[in-house]
Chain A
Amino acid sequence: MKSFVGKALRWEWRDAVVDLTLDREPANEIGTILLGELEQFAAAMKTFEAETAVCIIASAQKRGFSAGADLRELYRGAIALPEKERNAGVRDFVERCHRVANAIDAAPFVTIAAVHGVCFGGGLELALTCDIIVADKMARFAFPELRLGLIPGFGGIPRLKRDLGNGFVRDLLFTGRSVNAARAQAAGLVAQLAGEGEALKVARATAAQITKFDSTTRATAKKFLKPIPYAELKEEIVLFCQLFERPAVLAALKKFVESTDAMPYLP
């Protein structure tokens, strides 16, 4: 399926480049609808991967690339389940996220995340599956999970460790702070900085260059350059689910969901 329009995203293949556009209000929170359509994209990739050079993942939402997991849905879904079934429900969701992330990470074509605005939590984990991150100079990146008593659960830590120095990784994780695009570029997270509102344009120019190269060489180089840390990713699922079992996490999620503070995502 070379084109698709869903409730939370759409994709369109043209001249060896596939544009995957996230478009779910308010800020592409990753819940069951967005995840379900990402799964459809991961399945569809197989049908066009041989004739694809580049995939650009971007957002049509003004607020940013993605604010991360849909915590309201996660919380409401968790409390709706009997306590002994809760962990299995969360594990199922996290495993589905990992399968999608691993599929995009392993794509034989080059993947570019064109990021603007917020790129937090699960949104950053999605961007980290990509080979190249192009960021609008106003973009911000964060892993706020520890503020809720969790660790990133969609492959964030193994992929950050794969790509970046541990000093920056620990700062990002242990403070939960957000960093701007210039800092993210200095740390090696962002490959290219774009002017305000220009990330997609820069990503397209990058894609145009990449499409000139031989596909076999490109796929071979990617596989060699970017091994997928499967063992650590599996370990992350276990740790995330262990942490999620604790009452403190549900309490933190409850506080977040019910917060009327101006900045509710920061406990």
Chain B
Amino acid sequence: MRTLEQTTTEVLDLATRHFNAAPGSLSASDDFFKKLGIDSLQALELLSRLENHFGIELPDYEVQGVSDFRTLAERIQSRL
């Protein structure tokens, strides 16, 4: 079972890779919409990638209003 810290690290790694962010440039408290410059459809793509990576289903209403990586990781953690 992953810890929340591990989950957060994996979320940050995945977002860094997929959105070509500079390594180490993302942190848990970042607003991913602003930091990655993504829109709602790209956020859904991130959601799909996270679901595939963690092997979970994360209903989008559970992440409605979530914009920082830490809270996103918490929502994922509750489904692991």
Contact = CB atoms under 8 A, between A and B. Distances in A.
A67 B42 CA distance: 13
Contact of B59 (A27, A63, A177): A177
Given A263-B64, A266-B61, A140 B44 contact: yes
Interface in A138-156: 138-140, 142
A111 B50 CA distance: 31
A27 B51 CA distance: 22
A242 to B, nearest CB: 26
Contact of A137 (B39, B40, B52): B52
B67 interface: yes
Nearest to B64: A266
Contact of B45 (A138, A177, A262): A138
B49 interface: yes
Given A117-B45, A180-B48, A180-B52, A263 B40 contact: yes
| SS of B interface (majority) | helix
Contacts, number: 51
Contact of A175 (B48, B59, B67): B59
Interface residues of A, number: 25
Interface string A255-267: 0000000111110
Nearest to B67: A262
Given A176-B61, A177-B60, A178-B60, A262 B39 contact: yes
B38 to A, nearest CB: 8
Contacts of A181: 48
Contact of B57 (A138, A176, A180): A180
Interface of A: 27, 63-64, 67, 117-118, 137-140, 142, 175-183, 262-266
Closest A-B pairs by Cβ, 3 of them:
A177-B59, A262-B33, A263-B40
Interface of B: 33, 39-41, 43-45, 47-49, 51-52, 57, 59-61, 64-65, 67
